[in-house]
Amino acid sequence: MNVSIFVLSDNILMGKQACPFIIEQECKKKGFFIDKKVIYPSYYPNLEDVLKQNQKQINIIVVDKNKARVSETICNLTEDVISENEKLKEAVAKFYKFRNVPMPKEAKYEWEIPSKARGIICEGEKQGYILKGINSYFVVLSLDNFDLAIDSVLSSLSQEDSKYITFKTFGLNIDGLNSLLFEFKRNRDGIKIFTFSDGLDIDIIIKAKSTNDKLDDYAQNILKKINAFVYAEEDIPIYKVVKKLLNLTNKTICFAESITGGNMAGQFIKYNSGASNYLKQSFIVYSDEAKQNILNVTKQTLISKSAVSAECAYEMALGALEKSGSDLVVATTGFAEDTQTRSAGECYVAVGDRQFIHVYKNIYTGNREQIIENVSKAGFFYLIKKLRSNDFNFKSNNV
């Protein structure tokens, strides 16, 4: 189902407050297609006309003020009436009672909602609701705390009439991936396929109605086509997949980073609680001297091959394994910016263990930040492939 997002806020419209993107992110995770996102003033006189045009979809309305007027507008569209929702009234009353402050008169608009709506109890004074109309859903939330409820709201809507399968991929640009999926997207079996790109890290969401029995077949055929680029068959970040596999294989890791400057170790620690159980040590060796002194990269290699070379990446990896005592290593070196003799984006990623270290060469495009992010994710991706290889007698269908 398509989703339209309407944000009613004077502050956002005037640039005094940043417009949040959490709703779009959550919609993508749940397999919804975002039709539009519009920012209107808190009091927008043509809201009813706008909502009339958005049939057969989910309309998410995030309100800064005037929730009473929004509820009245939705009642007009759904032929409903305003009534008190006892659960929402109780939640609001508890909020003010706990703080021992008087309840303002306008608080009643948090529990005076369309009679057929289902209340969404949120932490705080602001509440929300969902109303299913004849052809559309209306979701009304407050700008103050919508982020606390949006995940559960979209999950409940997704489960009502559809099912979906997610593949996480790395290594293809969006055009290349869509080209591979072209034959599947043109199907007449009611299967919808969405792709959402974060650089070379792309989600594929395959969605169908809950009664459609062809979803699994499509998913398996798509997986065969793109298997070399898939790192997860669930909605999980690449950093968490690495931790999951390290746990299942009982292995430890170390990082030796030049071009990525600690980004890999930082992301692994940031997104994984208990990271210390798996990360033995991390080295940032940005200069040639650091590569020599800390990881024992030979001076001959740096002179004859340079710091950005397969040979240097290999020696960095080998030195990190020896210094850390870890089971596995990822080493990165490359150019995040143009130099006098070489172009930005050339990089080498070494991944391996004490028996075998493989060095991958890639050339990435984009600005400095994009290149560093792509190299970091490439390191995680190659590590996942290593962990899923026969080196550890581990089969990929376990994760």
What is the pLDDT at residue 224? Answer: 94
Q: Is the pLDDT of residue 269 over 80?
A: yes
Q: Using one digit for the tens of pLDDT, what is the confidence trace for 198-255? A: 889 999 989 888 789 999 999 999 999 999 999 999 878 899 999 999 999 999 999 9
Mean pLDDT confidence for 306-327: 96
Highest mean pLDDT of the ranges 35-44, 90-99, 317-326: 317-326
Helices (H), 14-66: 22-30, 47-52
Q: Using one digit for the tens of pLDDT, what is the confidence trace for 190-209? A: 898 988 888 899 999 898 88
How far apart, in Å, are the Cα atoms of 81 and each of 76, 119, 287? 8, 15, 69
Q: For residues 191 and 185, what is the distance between their CA atoms, to the nearest angstrom?
A: 8
Q: For residues 127 and 117, what is the distance between their CA atoms, to the nearest angstrom?
A: 12
Q: For residues 184 and 222, what is the distance between their CA atoms, to the nearest angstrom?
A: 8
**CATH class name, domain 164-232:** alpha beta
Tokens (6 digits) for 109: 């608009």
Tokens (6 digits) for 85: 């929702």
Beta bridge partners of residue 161, listed in sequence order: none
Q: Residue 353: which of 198, 248, 246, 219 has the closest Cα? A: 246
Mean pLDDT confidence for 101-123: 91
How is the chain split into domains, by residue range?
Answer: 2-148, 164-232, 238-398
Binned at pLDDT 50, 70 and 90, residue 360 comes out as very high
What is the pLDDT at residue 161? Answer: 66
Binned at pLDDT 50, 70 and 90, residue 281 comes out as very high
What is the pLDDT at residue 394? Answer: 36
Superfamily of domain 238-398, CATH level 4:
CinA-like (3.90.950.20)
Binned at pLDDT 50, 70 and 90, residue 148 comes out as confident
Which architecture, in CATH terms, is 2-148?
3-Layer(aba) Sandwich (3.40)
Binned at pLDDT 50, 70 and 90, residue 397 comes out as very low
